[in-house]
Amino acid sequence: MSEKRKNVQEIIFYGLLAATILIAIMVALANQIAPHDPLAVDYSMILQKPSAAYPFGTDNMGRCVLSRVIYGLRSSVAMALLITLISFTMGTFLGMVSGYYGRVVDTLIMRITDTLLAFPGLVICIAIVGIMGAGWKNVVIALAISGWVEYARVSRGMVLSLREKEFIKAARSSGCGRVRIMIVHILPNIFQQLLVIATFNIGHLILTFAGLAILGLGEQPPAPELGLMLSESKQFLQLAPWLMVYPGLVMFLVVMLFSLLGDCLRDRMNQKTSQ
Amino acid sequence: MSILEVCDLSIGYGKQRIVRNVSFTLKKGEILAIVGESGSGKSTLLRALIGKTPGGGQVNKGEIIYENQDLTSLNQTQLRKIRGKSIAMIFQSPGGTLNPVRKIGSQFIEAIRTHIEITKAEAYHKALEILTKLHFKNATQIMEAYPFQLSGGMKQRVAIALALALEPDILLADEPTSALDATVQKKVIDEMLELRKHFNTAIIIVTHNICLASYIADKVGVMYLGQFLEFGTAEEILLSPQHPYTRALLDSVPDLSQKKTLTGIEGQRYGFHELPSGCSFSNRCKEGGVSCKDLVPPKTVSDHGHVCICNQLMNHRQDRNAKK
Amino acid sequence: MKRLILKRLLQLGIILLSVSVAVFLLVNLAPGDPAYIKLSAQGETPTNERVEEERIAMGLDQPLHIQYFSWLGQVIQGDFGSSYRTDQPVINTLLKSFPYTLVLALAAFIVMLLISVPLGVLTAVKKNSLADYFIRVLSFFSASLPEFWLALILLYLFALQLKWLPVMGKGELKSMIIPAFSLGVVLSGKYIRQIRTALLEELDADYALGARTRGLTEKTVMYAHIMRNASISILTMLAMSFGALLGGTAVIENMFMWPGMGRMIVEAITWRDIPVIQGFALFMAGVYCLINLMVDLSYGLLDPRIKIRKESGQ
């Protein structure tokens, strides 16, 4: 690859990283940045077009759409990160155990992943949340239950191939304990690839979270949530299309940001390994 | 009468020149072997002959004369009519030119009907004919088979048969036996020799194996970093090699009849981007002098067409004559 | 081939069995007593005695494994129990709404095919051209689009502004256009890229070069050789996506009041109708696994390398 193209890629990567950090700061400082209280109802300001005071307009209860989008993004991102953290830890742990110990443990864990993979799309989440009841806590549990499988499968596969590598054998023969080998020798080798998966998944989780809210299974009104806002905007589509435009646009951009970031990370990783 | 004439051909990728000033002629029914280490540009040269230089390579200079036309000046449509019909090609991976998910028969029919306007049934018979001529015992079964159902040697033989379906004048073979077992190799090579007898096909075979080259070929070109350092009849090359590189290549081949010490070729060859102005073999040459690196070696052509590109050629000749 | 089918069927059986365990155990996640939930779903104000009676009637006093096996026995016979709310057999509810989801998924699938196959092929054939670059950027956009947002945009444009399409429907063809289109477009973003990759892998294969050296036209090489090789994996990939699509229509269905599985399940959830939720999960998993099994087997039929090896029992 030419130097010039490599430099362009570097610039894009750091640009994306900067954008991610910017969003992180924005949602962390939601209280300071949001111009209004996202829940403050003002019936004198119903369905106002975007203006200087309300950059994204107001909804049917006179609430500031921009403020609601910022808070909504905060809960989406926080939720996605929380779920990723849980599934990442759980999946990687179970996958490594499965791959390293093999036998009964492996069979058991792999049967469980087979079972979870037998449900298409959202079905497993809908069923779990449906029975446990709506609300963000149950959504987190449901998404974590269905989310760890991918990490487990990937890390298991990598452990299986790493296990036969010389440096692991050497570590084992020099008396390294199993736990130590896994944490010190194996984990650093598979971490990057899992991180790429996690980055891709964040966008996907944000969409799923919004989808469940639209189904009435996630956050409940009047909470500022992007999916809920979209769902509510439908009634006012003719009168106030901005209610639909902004939450969707923000979600779209954030999802795209994470999938671009995932692409970049993967390319960088591939370059490193091929060098 | 020569059937193919390559004059001063150079092929480059961007600024790097992978093939440099290569010239040779090929007569009808003649076998030319191009010998060299991997990465010496021999496959690129071979592919350029049918206008299929791999990934972005381009002919910078020179001519490829076939039937009074310069192939480098033809467009892809014109080249396509020559490909397969007049000049055919086979590759290293056994039967790699065969499509894995299509029956061999259908690939024969397709290839034949691309160049001649006949019905499918006629093409089928023509294919059977060729296979029978090439001593395939169960030709009809082979026509119905998929490539994966055949052994490696068999696949390569089928690939050769497919290349010969239209009785081309020239067969280009890119390391046709390198991926095969030794016993199968012999069989495929003998078959290629027989081919030449039957169809009077001229063959250009690219190989890194100088023994194979001398066994099969009438003429041998020794290629190093894109240049023919030496070119001559197989006999001359084998028995009285003139270029130090050719000698080094021959010395690295084990010979069971005499006990001799094998010598490899030491050192790293230049990259295409760091070629010296002088001889490209100078950094590994045992017989060269200090000036070889900067001095452009002259091209010496003997009376009967033996070519050698070396600065020290005159000195060597004198040395050897003196010894005599 | 027969042995392969048997082996796959056995695998499917094992997976479905563990799915049934998981679905059965779901009930135990439910906060509250199923008997209580059932009674209140039927409009009673449950007293302690009534709950106790109902528990015995429902077999909830039995040990867990006995409950499971009697439930499984019924499920195998196609009896998924009856709805707490309507007392109707769950299977009827499922079979009533499934065709709607099937039709919607099929329509979305066709939209996806119509977009991703030609564009995927185009980007591969014209690799690194302006068209390739443009389509790839577009596919990246569409893959990141939330399909429910796209649906709203289309609704705004084509139903409210241009008035070409109905805003809402009750399951007729015209009202399906926007939902199907939204699902299909979003999905196609992903598959354009996958088809391109699959084709590019084959583009420089030896057999393609071989076909070119035989003088075949670039068109023949592309369509009779490269596409033919790549099509097997592409077809499989696309067919697998259909199964996933069946489980991904729920959000769109609810936005557009489409009377499919997704709509039905949300209704069941509001009434905490546990047998329906269980039936839904089990049914969807069964359909999904069955589709994937069929795709898997047809893969063997399409690829002579697998088909013949299997037939000769190698």
Q: How many CA atoms lie within 13 A of A37 on its CB side?
A: 6
Closest Cβ–Cβ partner in B82, B101, B162 for C229 = B101
* pLDDT for the residue B185: 83
Check: CB of residue B70 under 8 Å from CB of residue B64. yes
Closest Cβ–Cβ partner in C21, C141, C152 for A244 = C152
Between chains, do A119 and C145 touch, taking CB under 8 Å as contact? no
Closest Cβ–Cβ partner in A116, A120, A130 for C284 = A120
Q: Which chains contact C through at least 3 pairs of Cβ atoms less than 8 Å apart?
A: A, B
- Neighbouring-strand partners of residue B89: B172
Count the domains in chain A.
Answer: 1
Q: How many Å lie between the alpha carbon of C231 and the closest alpha carbon of chain A? A: 24
* pLDDT for the residue C279: 93
Burial (Cβ within 10 Å: 0-12, 13-18, ≥19) of residue A91: buried
CB-based contact, C213 to chain B, within 8 Å:
yes
- Please provide the average confidence, as pLDDT, over all residues in chain B: 84
Between chains, do C144 and A255 touch, taking CB under 8 Å as contact? yes
Q: How many of the other CB atoms lie within 10 Å of CB of A235? A: 11
Q: How many Å lie between the alpha carbon of A243 and the closest alpha carbon of chain C? A: 11
Q: Which chains contact B through at least 3 pairs of Cβ atoms less than 8 Å apart?
A: C
CB-based contact, C277 to chain A, within 8 Å:
yes
Please state which CATH number belongs to domain C96-264.
Answer: 1.10.3720.10
Between chains, do A127 and C280 touch, taking CB under 8 Å as contact? yes
Please state, for a pLDDT cut of 70, what percent of chain C lies above it.
96
Q: How many Å lie between the alpha carbon of A216 and the closest alpha carbon of chain C? A: 8
Check: CB of residue C136 under 8 Å from CB of residue C123. yes
Between chains, do C209 and B97 touch, taking CB under 8 Å as contact? yes
Residues B49-88: tens digit of each pLDDT = 888 877 777 888 888 888 888 888 888 888 888 888 889 8
Kind of pairing, strands B2-13 and B202-207? unpaired
Size of chain A in residues: 275
* pLDDT for the residue B244: 87
Q: How far is CA B308 from CA B62, B230, C138, C261, in A?
A: 19, 4, 58, 81
Range of the domain at A175: 3-274
Residue C313's pLDDT band (cuts 50, 70, 90): very low
Q: Is A71 strand, coil or helix?
A: helix
**Taking the domains of chain C in order of start, what are their residue ranges?**
96-264
Q: How many CB pairs under 8 A join B and C?
A: 80
Q: Which positions 171-200 of C are in contact with A (Cβ < 8 Å)? A: none
> C314 pLDDT exceeds 60?
no
Residues C172-210: tens digit of each pLDDT = 778 889 999 999 999 999 999 999 998 988 887 888 888
The complex's ipTM works out to 0.88
Q: Which of the given ranges, A150-154, B112-116, B175-179, B240-244, has the highest pLDDT on average?
A: A150-154
Residues 6 or more apart whose Cβ sits within 8 Å of residue B65: B4, B5, B6, B7, B71
> C111 pLDDT exceeds 90?
yes
pLDDT tens by residue, chain A, 275 residues: 466 777 888 888 899 999 999 988 888 888 888 888 888 788 887 888 888 888 888 888 888 889 999 999 999 999 999 999 999 999 999 999 998 888 899 999 999 999 999 898 889 999 999 888 888 889 999 999 999 999 999 999 988 888 878 888 888 788 777 788 888 888 888 888 899 999 999 999 999 999 999 999 988 888 899 999 999 988 888 888 999 999 999 999 999 999 999 988 888 887 776 65
Q: How many Å lie between the alpha carbon of C257 and the closest alpha carbon of chain A? A: 11
CATH of the domain at A44: 1.10.3720.10
Give C-chain residues touching A124 at CB under 8 angstroms.
281
* pLDDT for the residue B77: 85
Give A-chain residues touching C183 at CB under 8 angstroms.
none
Q: How many Å lie between the alpha carbon of C15 and the closest alpha carbon of chain A? A: 6
Give C-chain residues touching A211 at CB under 8 angstroms.
146, 148, 250-251
Determine the average pLDDT of the residues in C34-41.
Answer: 83
